[in-house]
Amino acid sequence: MELSQDELPLIESDVENIDTLRVLHAAGLVEVRFSSVDADVQTAQVLFITGLGAATLRACGGATAHVPRAVLSESECDLEPSFD
Question: Residue 59 — very low, low, confident or very high, per pLDDT cuts 50/70/90?
Answer: confident
Helix (H) or strand (E) holding 32: strand 30-34
The more confidently predicted of residues 77 and 46 is 46
- Find residue 32's DSSP bridge partners: 46
CA distance 31 to 21: 9
Which tens digit of pLDDT belongs to each residue from 16-38?
999 999 999 999 999 999 999 89
Per DSSP, helices labelled H in 38-79 are 51-59
Residue 83 has pLDDT above 60, yes or no: no
CA distance 1 to 17: 10
Residue 46 three-state SS: strand
Residue 48 has pLDDT above 70, yes or no: yes
pLDDT at 62: 58
Residue 13 has pLDDT above 90, yes or no: yes
